[in-house]
Amino acid sequence: MPALLRSAFVIARRDFTATVFSRAFLFFLMGPLFPLLMVGIFAGIGGTAVSQAERPSVAVVAGDLDFQALAEARARLYNKVDVSAKLELLHVLPRPDAAAQRTKLLVSKSPPVIAVLEGGLARPHLIGPVHAEGTTIRQLQFMVEDARRARADPDPNAPIVQLSRTTASAGSLATPRALTARAGQTVLFLLTVLLSGMLLSQLIDEKANKIIEVLAAAVPIDAIFLGKLFAMLAMSLLGIAVWVAAGAATIAMFTGQSLASLPPPAVGWPLFMTLAVVYFMMSYLLLGSVFLGIGGQASTAREVQTLSMPVTMAQVVVFAVAATAVGSPDSPRALAAAAFPLSSPFVMIARAAELPELWPHLVAIAWQALWVGLILRVAARIFRRSVLKSGPARRRSWWRAART
Amino acid sequence: MAEDLVKDFGETRAVDGISLAVPAGSIYGMLGPNGAGKTTALRLLLGIIDPSSGTRRLLGHDRPLDAAREVGYLPEERGLYPNMTAREAIAFMGALRGLPLKEGRRRADDLLAGHGLSEWARKPIRTLSKGMAQTVQLLGTIVHRPRLIVLDEPFSGLDAINQAKLEELIRAEARDGVTVIFSTHVIAHAERLCERIAIIAGGRLAFEGGVDEARDRLQPIVRLRTRSEDGPWRSAIPHGARHERGEWVFDLPPGGPEPLLRALLDSGAGIETLAIERPGLHDAFVAIAGDAAAAAMGDPGAPS
């Protein structure tokens, strides 16, 4: 193991054990559990409201009689069976250019349409990105058959609902993926804000107890910074693991839902979750190295508190920049935010929800890692110069020279 | 080894062109009054801070941190993590210098036992007395068996018994071939322990050499008591002699004791007692450091 990493490991091990095996860490772990419990309870109520407000719609292109029969069948079905993902039926009168009408409906975002049912009850034809065995087509099949039965002269040879599957519709993909993107960004931001702020005070102990001199004589300052950064990252990941487990259990217990009930991201759930962990680590390391550098200049807890406000505001600005990328991941603004190291992880997690390409993530992770190294290097250099008073003599500034 | 080391803190020059070479296996004292630049010089040698100009070489390494595994350092401002146990603190300090943690713990147990601190091994540092904590830090400085030990004001804060123990520990390390450099402003320790010393004053190296060389910088002191209180023999007493508690005290004249004795006997001084004393390191230090400090402050009367 290179000397720098070995030294960083020694520092990280001490910091990690000193933090995790302390009584304060229990409070740290328990802190978010109470709000999580509340979120779990209210998510049950809120989730119902959301499902009503944003229930997926099927546009039914049919005459008034056919639609009315279908709507009545829908009402009968939902009266008899408790379906969690109830379909909304949107009545649209047929127009001469059926293809143009269909395309327009499929890209409609208000309301979001997941599929279009054409052909009336006689020849029902569902077009859209729905699963052949999924709940949408099965519910529609029930409704069509029930509507036919309700008529006086049902045709026993009438065809079942025929499906023409398309890859995507605005209603089926864009809106939910943007929601996933925004959710991913928000969670990433909240975790980073909550956890990386601790790094502001990481060097206070060493400075107050005069240990910094012992450390600086034995290992490079870069190793001290790196060790502290990774110790806090490991502690944060441990905390997140506990919170995620507790959160998942709470959500499952109170809402009966799981991750699978959320809109799937473009890269798929397993990769999205992996990228979420990686981007959390990168955003933590990036912001954390900045905080460590800033906090290294503080000598007391009071100074750290004074510094924390502008630092938090700066984080909010970074998040606001990243938030503009959601919905248009290839726009110049989004690309600029992805290139700016501190907002890059937030932009890229949103991109993972919206676009399936993987190579931009590899480039972004390498870019972010490079910046972690650079920021740490600069922070360590500033610390040596300003706190340890190291380095060659500075040239007298012009104003000082002018004064003398 | 240091060559022409200079360190400026803003407008203040803390170290001004210090050059020195410490022989391997020796006990080397760095003496100087408070604020002379001893600690800054040690921090420069160890690579904690970089010089404004000049070069340094530590155990053959141009970059002092490359020698970190072979160096032990006890800073002037002692510091330990208050919640760490004594045993873990020593092992941690060893780990910083490359000693595996398991081996560090084993050696920590042995060292603590050797210093009568076994029962404190698993207690947090914050529960230890100041002297005990200082001993723990010292043990952490040597746990990885370094080739060079640097101690900055190691005796400050210790009672007489612990000072004697520390002196013995320094001697024991030197017997094992370890080079020990320590700074102090208490001359007695340096006089008892050191083979070579550097006297720093006003950031400059005022003297570098053996303890005897430093003492030889001053003329021996003559203490003379006569039966006669006055007479022609008084002309034999050099100008500037002091009369203290019935005896004359003055530097031995450059001609040595023989001309002085002859002049006193011939002029009927009636010598009751006459002693020629070699000056101590304390006197040498006061003279050398005082002159250097005066020179650093631009005193035109100070010797060059």
Q: Is B118 on the interface with A (CB under 8 A)?
A: no
B80: which chain A residues are within 8 Å (Cβ-Cβ)? 209, 211
Domain shared by A224 and A305, yes or no: yes
pLDDT of amino acid A48 = 45
B46: which chain A residues are within 8 Å (Cβ-Cβ)? 217
Residue in A205, A215, A394 closest to B96 by CB: A215
Interface test with B, best of A389, A397, A403 (most B CBs within 10 A): A389
pLDDT of amino acid A259 = 57
What CA–CA distance (Å, rounded) separates B42 from A178? 60
Give DSSP secondary structure letters for A161-190: -EEEE-S--IIIIIHHHHHHHHHHHHHHHH
Q: For the residues B100-104, what does the mean pLDDT come to?
A: 96
B98: which chain A residues are within 8 Å (Cβ-Cβ)? 6
Q: Measured between alpha carbons, how far is residue A346 from residues A32, A234, A359, B177 in Å?
A: 22, 20, 17, 58
Domain shared by A14 and A134, yes or no: no
Nearest residue to B95 (alpha-carbon basis) of A16, A222, A19, A14 = A14
Evaluate if residue B286 carries a pLDDT over 80.
yes
Mean pLDDT rounded to a whole number for chain A? 81
In which domain, by residue range, is A153 found?
Answer: 56-167
Q: For the residues B260-286, what does the mean pLDDT come to?
A: 86
Count contacts between A and B (CB, < 8 Å): 74
Q: Is B203 on the interface with A (CB under 8 A)?
A: no
Could B65 and A210 be called an inter-chain contact, meaning their C-beta atoms sit closer than 8 Å? no
pLDDT of amino acid A392 = 55
Compute the nearest-CA separation of A22 from chain B (Å).
Answer: 10
What CA–CA distance (Å, rounded) separates B274 from B265? 12
Order of all β-strands in the sheet with B196-201: B71-74, B148-152, B179-184, B27-31, B196-201, B204-210
What CA–CA distance (Å, rounded) separates A176 from B138? 63
What does pTM read for this prediction?
Answer: 0.72
Give the nearest chain B residue to A1 (CA atoms).
Answer: B98
Six-digit token pair at A176? Answer: 């939910």
What CA–CA distance (Å, rounded) separates A127 from A129? 7
Six-digit token pair at B27? Answer: 């006990």
Among residues of chain B, what percentage have pLDDT more than 70? 95
A394: which chain B residues are within 8 Å (Cβ-Cβ)? 10
B77: which chain A residues are within 8 Å (Cβ-Cβ)? 210, 213
Instruction: Say if CB B81 and CB A211 are below 8 A apart.
Output: yes
Instruction: Say if CB B151 and CB B182 are below 8 A apart.
Output: yes
Domain shared by A162 and A182, yes or no: no
pLDDT in tens, B30-72: 998 888 899 999 999 999 999 999 999 999 999 999 999 999 9
B48: which chain A residues are within 8 Å (Cβ-Cβ)? 213, 216-217, 388, 390
Instruction: Say if CB B167 and CB B158 are below 8 A apart.
Output: no
Could B65 and A220 be called an inter-chain contact, meaning their C-beta atoms sit closer than 8 Å? yes
pLDDT of amino acid A112 = 72
Domain shared by A160 and A223, yes or no: no
pLDDT of amino acid B151 = 95
pLDDT of amino acid A172 = 55
CB burial class (10 A; 0-12, 13-18, 19+) of residue B72? Answer: buried
pLDDT of amino acid B18 = 92
Compute the nearest-CA separation of B233 from chain A (Å).
Answer: 60
Instruction: Say if CB A263 and CB A168 are below 8 A apart.
Output: no
Q: How many domains does chain A have?
A: 2
Domain shared by A149 and A198, yes or no: no
Nearest residue to B36 (alpha-carbon basis) of B208, B154, B203 = B203
Six-digit token pair at A376? Answer: 């740490």
Interface test with A, best of B46, B48, B69 (most A CBs within 10 A): B48
What CA–CA distance (Å, rounded) separates B43 from B50? 8
Domain shared by A216 and A262, yes or no: yes
Break chain B into its structural domains and give their ranges.
2-213, 221-277
Give DSSP secondary structure letters for A19-55: HHTSHHHHHHHHTTHHHHHHHHHHHHHHHHHHHHHT-
Q: Is A215 on the interface with B (CB under 8 A)?
A: yes
Evaluate if residue B193 carries a pLDDT over 50.
yes
Q: Does domain B2-213 have CATH number 3.40.50.2300?
A: no
Instruction: Say if CB A116 and CB A102 are below 8 A apart.
Output: yes
pLDDT of amino acid B303 = 41
Give the nearest chain A residue to B146 (CA atoms).
Answer: A218
Q: Is A384 on the interface with B (CB under 8 A)?
A: yes
Give the nearest chain A residue to B43 (CA atoms).
Answer: A217
Domain shared by A99 and A116, yes or no: yes
pLDDT of amino acid A52 = 44
pLDDT of amino acid A5 = 93
Q: Is A97 on the interface with B (CB under 8 A)?
A: no
Instruction: Say if CB B54 and CB B243 are below 8 A apart.
Output: no
Domain shared by A87 and A160, yes or no: yes
Q: Is A203 on the interface with B (CB under 8 A)?
A: no
Reported ipTM: the value is 0.81
A101 Cα distance to chain centroid: 35
The single-letter DSSP state of residue A197 is G
Residue in B47, B53, B80 closest to A211 by CB: B80
Confidence of residue B154 (pLDDT cuts 50, 70, 90): very high
Could B52 and A219 be called an inter-chain contact, meaning their C-beta atoms sit closer than 8 Å? no
Neighbours of A253 (CB within 10 A): 12
Residue in A214, A391, A393 closest to B93 by CB: A214
Segment (H or E) for B246: none
CB burial class (10 A; 0-12, 13-18, 19+) of residue A134? Answer: exposed
Instruction: Say if CB B25 and CB B17 are below 8 A apart.
Output: no
Segment (H or E) for A199: none
What CA–CA distance (Å, rounded) separates B152 from B184? 7
A66 Cα distance to chain centroid: 43
Compute the nearest-CA separation of B110 from chain A (Å).
Answer: 22
What CA–CA distance (Å, rounded) separates B258 from B274? 12
Q: With a CB-CB cutoff of 8 Å, which residues 41-60 of chain B face chain A?
A: 43, 46-53
Evaluate if residue B75 carries a pLDDT over 50.
yes
Evaluate if residue B245 carries a pLDDT over 60.
yes
In a domain, A275, yes or no: yes
Could B83 and A391 be called an inter-chain contact, meaning their C-beta atoms sit closer than 8 Å? no
Could you say which of A167, A182, A205 is where a domain stops? A167
- Residue written as token pair 């904590």: B133
Could B83 and A22 be called an inter-chain contact, meaning their C-beta atoms sit closer than 8 Å? yes
B61: which chain A residues are within 8 Å (Cβ-Cβ)? none
The single-letter DSSP state of residue B85 is B
Domain shared by A86 and A184, yes or no: no
Give DSSP secondary structure letters for A324-364: TTTT-TTSHHHHHHHHSTTTHHHHHHHHHHH----HHHHHH
Q: Is A381 on the interface with B (CB under 8 A)?
A: no
Order of all β-strands in the sheet with B247-251: B242-244, B247-251, B221-226, B271-277
Residue in A18, A219, A391 closest to B96 by CB: A219
Say which residue, B160 or B141, is predicted with more confidence.
B141
State the alpha helices, DSSP H only, in A197-343: 204-208, 212-218, 221-255, 269-295, 301-323, 332-339
Could A18 and B83 be called an inter-chain contact, meaning their C-beta atoms sit closer than 8 Å? yes
Six-digit token pair at A192? Answer: 């980073």
Could A18 and B75 be called an inter-chain contact, meaning their C-beta atoms sit closer than 8 Å? no
Domain shared by A159 and A179, yes or no: no
Confidence of residue B137 (pLDDT cuts 50, 70, 90): very high
C-alpha angle B185-B187-B188 in degrees, rounded to nearest 5: 135
Positions in chain A whose pLDDT score sits under 50: 45-54, 393, 395-397
Confidence of residue B88 (pLDDT cuts 50, 70, 90): very high
